Structure 1
Amino acid sequence: MVKLRLMRMGKTKQPTYRIVAADARSPRNGRFIEILGHYDPRREPSAITVDNDKAVAWLKKGAQPTEAVAKLLKISGAMDDFAGTAS
């Protein structure tokens, strides 16, 4: 199964994250299929960049987002796009 999840990047105690589509069996910072965006929680306000078209395409294919990624996709508007096309 494919999951949309966060991949930790950056130095020690200075995290930034990539939002990636990855196989559920691969490790957190291991192999991934595609990069969907970036998340920087250290900025004020936190910076989120998501390619909504790619995210919606993966959601249509059945990819399951983690809780954190689902919140980020809701903020970026990708979940609304997906809900609009699903109904």
Structure 2
Amino acid sequence: MIRIRLKCFGRKQQHTYRIVIMHSKARRDGKVIEEVGFLNPQTKETHLKVERIKLRLQQGAQPSETVRNLLVKAKII
């Protein structure tokens, strides 16, 4: 199954996240199919590739709970 979820990177205590498309069995920081966004929780900055996310959702990708909340705030879902 394909999932839309967060991939962690950054320094200790200063995490930032990439919103990525990857297989559900892959590790959190494992191989990704496609990067579709960015989230910085310290500055509340978010960038989303809306067309790519909508396309992947139509193809059957399932968002994680956190990503689902972000998509609802951005009015994509």
| TM-score past 0.5 threshold | yes
C-alpha separation in 2, matches of 1:55 and 1:13: 28
In the superposition, the TM-score normalised over structure 2's length comes to: 0.96
Could you tell me which runs of 5 or more consecutive residues in structure 1 were left unpaired when the two chains were aligned: 80-87
1:23 partnered with 2:33: no
Question: 1:48, 1:76 within 8 Å by CA — same for their partners in 2?
Answer: no
Name the structure where strand makes up a greater proportion of residues: 2
Question: 1:52, 1:76 within 8 Å by CA — same for their partners in 2?
Answer: no
C-alpha separation in 1, matches of 2:70 and 2:9: 17
**Corresponding residue pairs, total:** 77
C-alpha separation in 1, matches of 2:25 and 2:14: 26
Name the structure where helix makes up a greater proportion of residues: 1
Could you tell me which runs of 5 or more consecutive residues in structure 2 were left unpaired when the two chains were aligned: none
Structure with larger Rg? 1
Aligned partner of 2:73 in structure 1 is 75
C-alpha separation in 1, matches of 2:49 and 2:74: 9
C-alpha separation in 2, matches of 1:75 and 1:35: 19
1:34 partnered with 2:34: yes
| CA RMSD in angstroms, aligned pairs only | 0.7
Percent of matched pairs sharing the same residue: 32
